[in-house]
Amino acid sequence: SQELEQSPQSLIVQEGKNLTINCTSSKTLYGLYWYKQKYGEGLIFLMMLQKGGEEKSHEKITAKLDEKKQQSSLHITASQPSHAGIYLCGAPGGANSKLTFGKGITLSVRP
């Protein structure tokens, strides 16, 4: 079965700093979703990547999927307190497009 490992487990950065978090799969990825979750709330869709080498950006967040399609990174430029939360990567695996998720990365941004 597919497993997704996210690193680091948690991260504290000063406001304004850049940061990168990673999601590594035990198998080739056929798609990779990034979600953000505020504590105690639902998941907010950020981006979906499908092709090796693909890169997408939205506001100050950029996500990439490597050429081998086994690792994705999420980069935040000039972090703000509003970026704080739990970042989850999810990948469809096997039939029916059900998602396997990593355990998430908790990001804190200090003002």
Partner 1 sequence: NAGVMQNPRHLVRRRGQEARLRCSPMKGHSHVYWYRQLPEEGLKFMVYLQKENIIDESGMPKERFSAEFPKEGPSILRIQQVVRGDSAAYFCASSIGQDYGYTFGSGTRLTVV
How many residues in total does the chain contain?
111
Q: Which is nearer to partner 1, 60 or 101 (CB)?
A: 101
**Residues binding partner 1 (CB under 8 A):** 31, 33, 35, 40-43, 45, 48, 88, 90, 92, 95-104
Q: Which is nearer to partner 1, 40 or 111 (CB)?
A: 40
Task: Please report how close the Cβ of residue 69 comes to partner 1 at its closest, in angstroms.
Answer: 16
Task: Please report how close the Cβ of residue 111 comes to partner 1 at its closest, in angstroms.
Answer: 27
Q: Which amino acid is at 103?
A: K
- Residue among 93, 88, 89 at smallest CA distance from 28: 93
In the structure encoding, which two tokens stand for residue 19, read together? 């940061």
Q: Which is nearer to partner 1, 77 or 100 (CB)?
A: 100
Task: Please report how close the Cβ of residue 78 comes to partner 1 at its closest, in angstroms.
Answer: 27
- Residue among 3, 12, 8 at smallest CA distance from 70: 3
In eight-state DSSP terms, residue 42 is: -
